[in-house]
Amino acid sequence: MARPLKELVIHKGQKASTAQALGLLIRERRLELGLSQEAVSDEGLEQAYVSKLERGESEISLNSFLLLAPKLQLTPVELLQRFLSTLGRHGK
């Protein structure tokens, strides 16, 4: 069972950072697809890096963004659109 993301508990009036908003999106989509962090990891995306992304502890590079999108069964454009939507709901 997935652990809750304590780092992403957003209290009323608080906003998530861009890294946290992207992490929330990545984790929600991965779980929606029933995938583990290992399943979206590969040579270019290590599991530890995916974990840091999901916790909002690491900024994503363009290359990693492009590698991650198909793992989440999205095009890069779809992932960006979802990120902007998530950022609009939760971000600064």
Full set of structural domains in the chain with CATH: 15-36+43-90 (1.10.260.40)
Of 67, 70, 88, the closest CA to residue 78 belongs to 70
Alpha-carbon 42 to chain mean position = 16
- Kind plus residue range of the DSSP H or E element containing 10: none
pLDDT in tens, 8-22: 555 555 667 899 999
Check the CA dihedral 82-91-68-6 and report its sign. Answer: negative
Please state the pTM of the whole predicted model: 0.79
Distant-in-sequence contacts of 63-67, Cβ < 8 A, 24+ apart: 67/42
Integer Cα distance of 53 and 26 in angstroms: 8
pLDDT in tens, 26-55: 999 999 999 999 999 988 899 999 999 999
